[in-house]
C-alpha cells in the first residue's frame, strides 16, 4: 500500500479491518480525532482525493494510491494558514476545539451552493461546546477577535492562546502523544444489573497472543472510595472499589485485560469466564426506598458516609422555615404538580481515558482527560499508598467536560496496571462506554406545591425531590443539596419546606453535570410559578419580579443560609428588563410564525453560586523570564471554558503588558502547589483570583526591586510594556531580570485563593415559539438570554459560554434522553440513538450582558459557564404553555410527546393558542 498524506508518503500496510482514522493516527497525524467511530460526529473528517470523508468509516486499504489531506495539511508548505483556518481563528469558531478539525475539513470542501445551506452541509458534524453560532461566523468570515493592547486586556475579546494549534491540528489532547512500549487496556463489563461474582477464570484470556495480564477484584485494593472529585472527600460516600466482587449495574467493570493491542485486549475480554449469582435489582428510586426493596449497598452508614443504606438513601435533606401549611391557608390560589427530568449524557467529544507510565525518575505519571488533576493525584496516592512526590498527573488539552470529567473513572485502573506491569498502559473509552460506563445527569422527580395571594405575593413553597443517583453515590448527596439551594433561595417567601432524597438504584451512576441539579429543580419551580401566576390572572414575569430576592435581602432556604454566600452584585433586575423589552418587541425581531401555528412566549429566571461551598483552592505563580516575558503557572484545566485566555488577560493587565508576552503552564501537578479543579464555575472566580494575586505580587516585586536597584523612590517607578519607567529613563525587564539574578533574587510571586467568600450570578431566558397543532412540531422564533456575569473578562468567550449552555440545555429540553430498559441496560449507547443538537436544531440566541461589578470576584467578575443552562427548559415549557394552553411536566419535550399532550388536552389541529 502507498498513500500520500499531507505530501508525505506512507507505505505501511494497514492491519486487517483497520479504518483510515487509526491508520493516520498511528503515523502521528493526531489532528484526526476519535469522537464516535460510527460516522456520527465528523471529528475524524479528512479529504481523500479532495473529497471529505469520515475516516472512522473509511477502510484504510481504500486509500491505496490516493492523496489524503488532514487538518495538518491544510496550510501551505510555507506555513501560511488556509483561508478557512484563518476565518476560524478570526471568529474563534471553537471552544474545546476537539471537533474543530472536522469542521475545518468539511468547510474547506464546501462549494458555493453548499455554503448557502449550512444546516445540510454540517449534518455530519457535531459540536458540544459552541452552540454553532461561532462556527457559522467562521464560515461567513465574521471577525470576532480584538487586537491586544498593553495593560488593557480585561474586557476585550482577545483570542484563545491555543487557537493557532487548534486550527492546525497541533493542539495536543490526552492521546495525541507517542509513548514507546505502550500497552492497551480493555474492560470486561457486567451483563447484570445486580450480581455477585462467584468465580472468574482468566486462563483462556491469558493464552491470547499479546495479552500481558488480566486484573480482577482479587488484584484490586480493598479500599472503598468515591469516583467524585471534591476538595473535601468526605462530601461523597465511599462506596466504590477499583474492581468489586459485586456488580451493581449493567456496564460495571468486572475485569481489565492489558495487551499489546486493543484487538488482543478485546479478545482477552471475550475469553474470560465469569460465574455470577444473579441478585434482585431495583431500577426506580421510589421503589428503592420502599420496605423490602433490594439493598444496593449493604454497608456501614458511618464508615461509608451513606445516610440510610438499608433504605437505599445515600443522602437526604429536610427543613422548613416558617409554616407552609399556614402559608397555603393564606393563599388565594395553590398550584401542585409533579415534574420529571430525564438522564442526560455529557457527550463530550473526547471520551474518558488515560495513559500512564513511569518516568525516568521512577515517578508514576498519568496523562488524563480530567477536570481535576490535583484531586486525582490525591486519590491515587491514597488508594495505592504512594507519596505525592512519586505521582504526577497531567491533563493535556481536554476535549470537553461539562462536569463528566470531575470523576476518577479510568485513572485508578490504569494506575493499577502500570504499578503491576511497570509498562506504559492506555485506556480509552469507546463512545458506547461513555453511555454505560461513565456517568449521566441525575434524573429527578420534583413534586412542587406553591401558593400565592391575588396581589401576587408568594405565600408558600414546598418541594419533595427524589434524585436517582444510580448504583454509586458519586456526587449524589452534593447534587441533591445544591438542587434545592439557589432554586429556592432566589424567591422570597416566608414559608418554605423541602424534603429531598438522593437514592441508589441498580442503574448507570449519575454524577456532576452542568448546573449540578439546579436545572432539574428550576424546571419545576419556574414552571409552577408560571402556572400560579396565570391562575391569579397576573403576567408570569411580573409575578416573578414581585417575588424575587432583592439586592440586600438574605438568601433563605429550608436548609439554612450559607454564611459565605453573598449577593455581591445584583443584576437580576436588569435581566428582567431585558426580557420585558424582548416581550414588547413583537414585530421587531425573530422569525415569522407559519400560518395556522400556535404562538407563545415564556421566560424563566435562575441564580447560581459562583463556586461550591466549603472552599475551593487555587494556587498560581507568576515569574519574570530572562527575555523579559512572563511565565504564569496555574493548576486549572482548559477544556473550552476559556480560562487560559482570561488568566492571561488578568495577568497582562496587572503587569502592564500584552497577552502574547505571557506563557501559561497549566493542569499539571508539577506546576503549582494545588488546584481543586476546573468545575463549579471556578475557572475565573477562583483560579482567576489566584492569578490576579500572583500577578499583583509580581508587579509589586518588580517595582520594589527596580526602585532599590536604581536608587529612586518607589512611587516614581511605573510598569510599562517591557520595562519599568522612572524619572531618569527606562529599565528594561531583561535588564531587571539580569540584575535580580546577579544578587540571587528570584523574580517570581505566588497567589492563592480559597474560594470563599462567594457571590451569586443571575440569568434569564426568554423564548417565542410556534407550534404546529397538527404534528407537534415546534419552532423557536426568537431566543433571548440575559446574563449577569459581573465584569465580563472576555465578551466573545463569555458569549460563547452562554450560547453553548443554551444549546446544550435545548438538547436536554427537546430530545436528549439516556433510555434504560426493563433490565437496567442503556439502550442509547451511540450518538445515532442518543439525539444531540445539530447545527440545524439551534437558533441564534441574542445574548445580553448586564452592567454589574462584583465585590468578591476578580476585577468584578462572576461565573458564567454553568448558569446559562438552568433557565432554558422552564422558559421553553412556559412558552409552550402560552402557545397551547397545555402544561408539559416531563422532559424531554419530544415532538411525539407534544403532539400527544395536545391531543389529550383537546387542542384542535387548527386551534387557537395562548389560553391561560
pLDDT in tens, 237-280: 999 999 999 999 999 999 999 999 999 999 999 999 999 999 99
pLDDT at 93: 98
pLDDT at 588: 63
Cell 425573530, residue located:
590
pLDDT at 853: 97
**Buried/exposed 687-718: b ≥16 CB within 10 Å, e otherwise:** bbbbbbbbbbbbbebbbebbbebbebeeeebe
- Are the CB atoms for 341 and 349 separated by under 8 Å? no
Report how far Cα 838 is from the mean position of its chain's Cα atoms: 18
Instruction: Please compute the mean of the pLDDT values over residues 795-823 and round it to a whole number.
Output: 98
Distance CA 906, CA 894 (A): 19
- What kind and span of H or E run contains 22? helix 20-26
Distance CA 20, CA 326 (A): 69
The set of cell numbers assigned to 254 is 468486572
Q: pLDDT by residue (tens digit) across 754-787?
A: 999 999 999 999 999 999 999 999 999 999 999 9
Q: pLDDT by residue (tens digit) across 594-638?
A: 999 999 999 999 999 988 998 899 999 999 999 999 999 999 999
Q: Torsion-angle region of residue 405: left (phi > 0), alpha (psi -120 to 50) or beta? A: alpha
Distance CA 545, CA 633 (A): 44
Q: pLDDT by residue (tens digit) across 511-532?
A: 999 999 999 999 999 999 999 9
pLDDT at 387: 98
Q: pLDDT by residue (tens digit) across 2-53?
A: 999 999 999 999 999 999 999 999 999 999 999 998 999 999 999 999 999 9
pLDDT at 913 over 70: no
pLDDT at 911: 45
Question: What confidence category does residue 152 fall into, taking pLDDT thresholds of 50, 70 and 90?
Answer: confident
Query: Which of helix, strand or coil describes residue 845?
Result: strand
Instruction: Please compute the mean of the pLDDT values over residues 154-160 and round it to a whole number.
Output: 96
- Are the CB atoms for 578 and 786 separated by under 8 Å? yes
pLDDT at 587: 62
Burial class (CB in 10 A: 0-12, 13-18, 19+), 684: buried
Q: What share of the chain has pLDDT > 70, as a percent?
A: 99
Beta bridge pairs of residue 308: 313
Phi first, then psi: what are they for 353, rounded to 5°?
A: 180, 160
Counting Cα atoms < 13 Å in the Cβ hemisphere of 89 gives 16
Instruction: Please compute the mean of the pLDDT values over residues 428-440 and round it to a whole number.
Output: 98
Query: Which of helix, strand or coil describes residue 874?
Result: helix
Instruction: Please compute the mean of the pLDDT values over residues 560-580 and round it to a whole number.
Output: 93
Cell 407537534, residue located:
776
pLDDT at 616: 95
- What kind and span of H or E run contains 256? strand 253-259
Burial class (CB in 10 A: 0-12, 13-18, 19+), 896: exposed
Question: What confidence category does residue 151 fall into, taking pLDDT thresholds of 50, 70 and 90?
Answer: confident
**Buried/exposed 26-51: b ≥16 CB within 10 Å, e otherwise:** eeebbbbbbbbbebbbbbbbbbbeee
Burial class (CB in 10 A: 0-12, 13-18, 19+), 719: buried
466: which residues sit within 8 A by CB, 6+ positions away? 285, 286, 289, 444, 445, 446, 500, 501, 503
- Are the CB atoms for 598 and 910 separated by under 8 Å? no
The reported pTM is 0.97
Instruction: Please compute the mean of the pLDDT values over residues 420-439 and round it to a whole number.
Output: 98
Q: pLDDT by residue (tens digit) across 315-359?
A: 999 999 999 999 999 999 999 999 999 999 999 999 999 999 999
pLDDT at 912: 45
Amino acid at each position: 500500500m502507498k498513500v500520500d498524506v499531507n505530501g508525505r508518503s506512507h507505505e505501511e500496510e494497514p492491519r486487517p479491518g483497520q479504518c483510515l482514522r487509526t491508520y493516520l493516527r498511528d503515523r502521528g497525524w493526531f489532528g484526526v480525532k476519535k469522537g464516535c467511530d460510527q460516522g456520527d460526529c465528523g471529528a475524524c473528517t479528512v479529504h481523500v482525493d479532495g473529497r471529505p470523508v469520515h475516516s472512522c468509516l473509511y477502510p484504510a486499504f481504500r486509500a491505496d494510491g490516493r492523496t489524503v489531506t488532514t487538518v495538518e495539511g491544510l496550510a501551505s508548505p510555507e506555513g501560511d494558514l488556509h483561508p478557512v483556518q484563518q476565518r476560524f481563528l478570526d471568529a474563534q469558531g471553537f471552544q474545546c476545539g476537539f471537533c474543530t478539525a472536522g469542521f475545518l475539513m468539511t468547510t474547506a470542501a464546501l462549494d458555493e451552493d453548499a455554503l448557502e445551506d449550512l444546516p445540510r452541509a454540517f449534518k455530519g458534524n457535531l459540536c458540544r461546546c459552541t452552540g454553532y453560532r461561532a462556527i457559522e461566523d467562521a464560515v461567513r468570515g465574521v471577525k470576532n477577535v480584538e487586537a491586544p493592547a498593553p495593560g488593557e486586556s480585561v474586557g476585550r475579546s482577545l483570542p484563545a492562546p491555543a487557537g493557532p494549534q487548534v486550527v492546525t491540528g497541533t493542539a495536543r489532547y490526552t492521546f495525541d502523544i507517542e509513548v514507546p512500549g505502550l500497552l492497551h487496556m480493555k474492560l470486561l463489563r457486567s451483563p447484570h444489573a445486580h450480581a455477585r461474582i462467584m468465580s472468574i477464570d482468566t486462563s483462556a484470556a491469558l493464552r491470547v497472543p499479546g495479552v500481558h495480564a488480566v486484573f480482577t477484584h482479587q488484584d484490586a485494593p480493598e479500599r472503598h472510595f468515591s469516583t467524585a472529585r471534591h476538595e473535601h472527600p468526605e462530601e461523597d460516600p465511599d462506596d466504590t472499589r477499583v474492581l468489586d466482587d459485586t456488580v451493581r449495574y449493567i456496564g460495571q467493570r468486572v475485569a481489565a485485560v492489558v495487551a499489546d493491542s486493543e484487538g488482543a485486549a478485546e479478545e482477552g475480554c471475550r475469553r474470560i469466564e465469569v460465574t455470577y449469582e444473579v441478585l434482585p435489582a431495583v431500577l426506580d428510586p421510589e421503589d428503592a426506598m420502599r420496605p423490602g426493596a433490594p439493598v444496593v449497598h449493604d454497608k456501614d452508614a458511618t464508615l461509608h458516609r451513606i445516610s440510610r443504606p438499608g433504605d437505599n438513601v445515600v443522602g437526604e435533606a429536610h427543613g422548613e422555615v416558617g409554616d407552609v401549611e399556614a402559608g397555603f391557608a393564606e393563599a388565594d390560589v395553590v398550584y401542585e404538580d409533579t415534574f420529571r427530568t430525564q438522564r442526560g449524557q455529557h457527550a463530550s467529544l473526547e471520551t474518558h481515558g488515560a495513559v500512564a507510565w513511569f518516568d525516568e525518575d521512577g515517578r508514576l505519571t498519568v496523562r488524563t482527560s480530567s477536570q481535576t488533576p490535583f484531586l486525582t493525584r490525591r486519590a491515587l496516592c491514597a488508594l495505592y499508598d504512594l507519596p505525592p512526590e512519586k505521582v504526577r498527573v497531567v491533563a493535556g488539552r481536554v476535549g470537553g467536560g461539562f462536569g463528566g470529567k470531575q470523576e476518577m473513572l479510568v485513572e485508578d485502573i490504569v494506575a493499577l496496571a502500570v504499578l503491576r506491569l511497570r509498562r506504559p498502559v492506555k485506556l480509552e473509552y469507546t463512545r458506547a462506554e461513555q453511555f454505560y460506563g461513565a456517568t449521566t445527569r441525575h434524573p429527578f422527580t420534583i413534586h412542587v406545591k406553591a401558593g400565592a395571594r391575588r396581589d401576587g405575593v408568594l405565600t408558600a413553597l414546598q418541594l419533595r425531590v427524589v434524585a436517582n443517583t444510580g448504583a454509586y453515590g458519586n456526587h449524589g448527596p452534593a447534587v441533591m443539596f445544591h438542587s434545592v439551594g439557589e432554586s429556592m433561595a432566589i424567591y422570597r417567601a416566608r414559608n418554605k419546606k423541602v424534603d429531598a432524597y438522593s437514592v441508589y438504584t441498580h442503574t448507570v451512576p449519575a454524577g456532576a453535570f452542568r448546573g449540578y441539579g439546579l436545572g432539574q429543580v428550576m424546571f419545576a419551580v419556574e414552571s409552577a410559578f408560571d402556572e400560579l401566576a396565570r391562575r391569579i390572572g397576573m403576567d408570569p414575569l411580573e409575578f416573578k419580579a414581585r417575588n424575587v430576592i432583592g439586592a440586600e435581602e438574605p438568601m433563605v432556604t429550608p436548609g439554612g443560609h450559607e454564611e459565605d454566600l453573598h449577593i455581591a452584585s445584583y443584576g437580576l433586575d436588569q435581566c428582567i428588563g431585558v426580557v420585558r423589552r424582548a416581550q414588547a418587541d413583537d414585530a421587531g425581531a425573530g422569525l415569522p410564525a407559519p400560518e395556522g401555528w400556535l404562538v407563545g412566549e415564556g421566560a424563566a429566571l435562575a441564580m447560581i453560586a459562583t463556586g461550591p461551598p466549603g472552599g475551593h483552592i487555587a494556587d498560581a505563580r507568576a515569574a519574570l523570564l530572562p527575555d523579559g516575558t512572563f511565565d504564569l503557572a496555574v493548576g486549572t484545566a482548559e477544556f473550552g471554558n476559556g480560562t487560559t485566555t482570561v488568566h492571561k488577560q488578568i495577568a497582562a493587565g496587572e503587569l502592564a503588558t500584552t497577552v502574547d508576552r505571557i506563557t501559561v503552564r497549566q493542569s499539571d501537578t508539577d506546576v503549582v502547589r494545588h488546584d481543586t479543579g476546573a468545575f463549579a464555575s471556578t475557572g475565573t472566580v477562583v483560579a482567576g483570583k489566584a492569578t490576579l494575586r500572583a500577578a499583583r505580587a509580581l508587579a509589586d516585586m518588580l517595582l520594589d526591586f527596580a526602585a532599590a536597584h536604581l536608587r529612586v523612590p518607589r512611587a516614581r517607578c511605573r510598569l510599562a510594556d517591557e520595562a519599568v519607567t522612572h524619572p531618569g529613563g527606562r529599565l528594561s525587564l531583561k535588564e531587571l531580570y539580569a540584575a535580580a539574578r546577579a544578587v540571587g533574587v528570584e523574580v517570581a510571586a505566588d497567589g492563592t485563593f480559597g474560594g470563599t467568600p462567594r457571590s451569586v450570578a443571575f440569568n434569564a431566558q426568554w423564548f417565542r415559539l410556534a407550534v404546529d397543532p397538527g404534528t407537534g412540531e415546534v419552532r423557536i422564533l426568537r431566543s433571548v438570554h440575559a446574563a449577569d456575569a459581573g465584569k465580563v473578562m472576555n465578551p466573545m468567550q463569555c458569549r460563547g459560554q452562554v450560547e453553548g449552555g443554551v444549546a446544550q440545555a435545548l438538547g436536554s429540553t427537546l430530545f436528549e434522553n439516556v433510555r434504560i430498559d426493563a433490565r437496567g441496560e442503556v439502550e442509547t449507547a451511540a450518538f445515532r440513538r442518543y439525539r444531540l443538537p445539530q447545527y440545524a436544531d439551534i437558533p441564534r440566541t441574542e445574548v445580553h450582558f448586564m452592567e454589574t461589578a462584583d465585590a468578591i470576584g476578580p476585577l468584578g467578575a462572576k461565573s458564567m459557564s454553568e448558569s446559562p443552562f438552568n433557565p432554558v427548559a422552564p422558559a421553553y415549557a412556559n412558552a409552550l404553555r402560552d402557545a397551547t394552553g397545555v402544561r408539559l411536566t416531563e422532559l424531554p419535550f419530544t415532538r411525539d410527546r407534544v403532539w400527544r399532550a395536545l391531543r389529550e388536552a383537546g387542542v384542535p389541529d387548527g386551534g387557537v393558542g395562548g389560553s391561560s
